[in-house]
Amino acid sequence: MSAILDIVSPAATLVEALEPIRSDPAHAAILLDIDGTLAPIVRHAADAHVPEATRTLLIEIAKRYRMVGCVSGRRASTARQIVAIGTIAYLGNHGGELLRPGATRPEVDEDLAAWTARVRDFAARVYTSERQRLRVRSEDKDSIAAFHWRGAPDEEAAAEAVRQIAGSAQEEGFAVHWGRKVLEVRPPVVFDKGLGIEAFLHGGPASAALYVGDDTTDLDAFRGLRALVESRALASAMCVAVASDEAPPDLAREADLTVDGPGGVRKLLEALL
């Protein structure tokens, strides 16, 4: 891991820090999380959007760099709708889906797909009227069920209701994962953003890669990139943490570079150009 840098704001310093990626765009991959990274965190996940200034920069990035992709906990098709750029790749459901540039359907991990019906049945059973009254929000992500409590009138009561869902999920053999005021109920199948990125980049033209993210699942992306460097599938990788009040402490500790919120990500994209 490279030396951890302080939060970067001066343009010249940021350009210098990104030189290993900027120096050879024809052989570089740019990979970014969406929520909390490209798009500000919002009260309701369905309201998330990428600001037009950020989207315009990302379009230019896609023209300049060999491989560009968004790596999201959302469905790949939903991620594409939010970003609204069809010429880049989308790794959805934390790497369980791959929607290639221009494709109409994602490639879905078979092991995950086999659990879709069971996950949906569980979600329907635990999403009771009482939990809906507390304003816990359910999100169907095919083979993953998410339960959000951000913005509930009584967030602590809603969070307790979600903790009960987590307990039931574990009793029934599902895996659970916690994010920024969200619980995900997942199949007991090994998958994460890092594994998705490794599969996406393996054997491709990229010799260097950059990843930018803001949450716990992005640590898997960091580690996946570093595994590719260790195996010499990549010559170099840069991991960027997006600072926020809710970011896990390990994110900054494991990053090579830290930027301040989605606004800092926009400055990073400017520096890449």
At 210-244, the pLDDT tens digits run 999 999 999 999 999 999 999 999 999 999 999 99
At 35-57, the pLDDT tens digits run 999 999 888 877 889 999 999 99
Q: What ranges do the domains of the chain cover? A: 11-109+191-272, 113-186
The pLDDT of residue 1: 43
Please list the alpha-helical segments (H only) found in the chain: 11-17, 19-22, 52-64, 76-83, 110-113, 116-126, 129-133, 155-171, 193-201, 217-230, 249-254, 261-272
Residue 154 has pLDDT above 90, yes or no: yes
Fold of 11-109+191-272: Rossmann fold (3.40.50)
The pLDDT of residue 10: 54
Confidence of residue 110 (pLDDT cuts 50, 70, 90): confident
Radius of gyration for the chain, computed over Cα atoms and rounded to the nearest angstrom: 18
Taking phi over 0 as left and psi of -120 to 50 as alpha, with beta for the rest, 13 belongs to alpha
Q: Class of 113-186 per CATH?
A: alpha beta
At 92-107, the pLDDT tens digits run 998 999 999 999 999 9
Confidence of residue 12 (pLDDT cuts 50, 70, 90): low
